[in-house]
Structure 1
Amino acid sequence: MAGIPRARIRRGGWAPRRRIDPLETLADHYGLSRPTVRQAVALLEQQGWVSVHHPRGTLVAGQSPKE
């Protein structure tokens, strides 16, 4: 699951510092469970692709991490 949002960030579908859709919306859109989406977002946060700010939401990192 983490590969889908990562690819969307890479191709500019989600601009830097933009808030991504809520977990519920992503789960419904991709047909996945909320825990699966939560794990994917946590992985993206560990890799530096997004940052989670409660209660504001999850934001795309200002700069793509080096791979």
Structure 2
Amino acid sequence: MPRQPVYAQVIDDITASIRSGTLRPGDKLPSIADLCVQYRASPQPIRLALRLLDERGWIEVHQGRGSFVAPRQPDA
């Protein structure tokens, strides 16, 4: 079975943490640099994951401030 792309792994991990309550609405996510270290990845797949999570309503990205868990989660 092929390995999951880094961006998909980041999405899965963050959504699982939100669903389980480990990450709660308003919580700040680690920085891109910290996520790069955690996933041993370059910034590109991390940025892609955060952008997709933002588009899907799981997080809110505020340039210069960071990424935060959205106050309301999508129904999915």
Fold shared, TM-score > 0.5 on shorter chain:
yes
Identity %: 31
2:3 is aligned to none
What is the aligned counterpart of 1:41 among 41, 50, 54?
A: 50
Question: Which protein shows a greater Rg?
Answer: 2
Structure 1: any 5+ residue segments left out of the alignment? none
Q: TM-score, normalised by structure 2?
A: 0.81
Structure 2 unaligned blocks of 5 or more: 1-8
Distance 1:39 1:13 in 2: 22
- State the TM-score, normalizing by the size of structure 1: 0.91
Which of 3, 19, 30 in structure 1 is aligned with 2:28?
19
- Deviant stretches of 4+, over 4 Å: none
